Amino acid sequence: MNYNLLTKSLQALLEGVPYPVANLANAAAFIWESADRLNWAGFYLTEQNAAGEKVLALGPFQGRPACIEIPWGKGVCGTAAALDEPQRVEDVHQFPGHIACDAASASELVIPLHNQAGEVIGVLDLDSPEKGRFTPEDLEGFQALARVIEGCL
């Protein structure tokens, strides 16, 4: 994939749009249409549940229906958010505490998103039905896309 071109294209799509939800929805659709071998592409956003606990709540996405709420620090997404570190998982079934929102998912790439203060405000989550789908190049490329998305929230 030409991540340089994708980054410029995504920036052009989102630039000047003052609506965060619209930007996340278009970003999810753009990634879904641009990347191959995905079965889910979208966002989970940092929220507080009724008990006052930090969670990731389902945001705009493309793919099958998904988990509504993921506990902070649990599963691949919650781990990425709590550690503030991207997670590139070649086989989700080997990931301790993996949350199977879609049994067809075999590998996953999750990248934390930040506000201007540097706080984690959510994650970009990509799932594939292929084990080992995401390469180090994909991690770097999708991190560049995540930085574009952060600038439009």
Amino acid at 107: S
- How many domains, in total, are found in the chain? 1
Supply the CATH number for residue 52's domain.
Answer: 3.30.450.40
Q: Which domain holds residue 109?
A: 3-150
Averaged over 61-78, what is the pLDDT?
96
* Model pLDDT for residues 8-67, shown as the tens digit of each residue: 999 999 999 999 999 999 999 999 999 999 999 999 999 999 999 999 999 999 999 999
Q: Give the long-range contacts of residues 92-101, CB within 8 A, separation 24 or more.
A: 92/127, 99/67, 99/70, 99/74, 99/75, 101/40, 101/66, 101/67
Reported pTM: 0.96
Give the pLDDT score at 32.
98
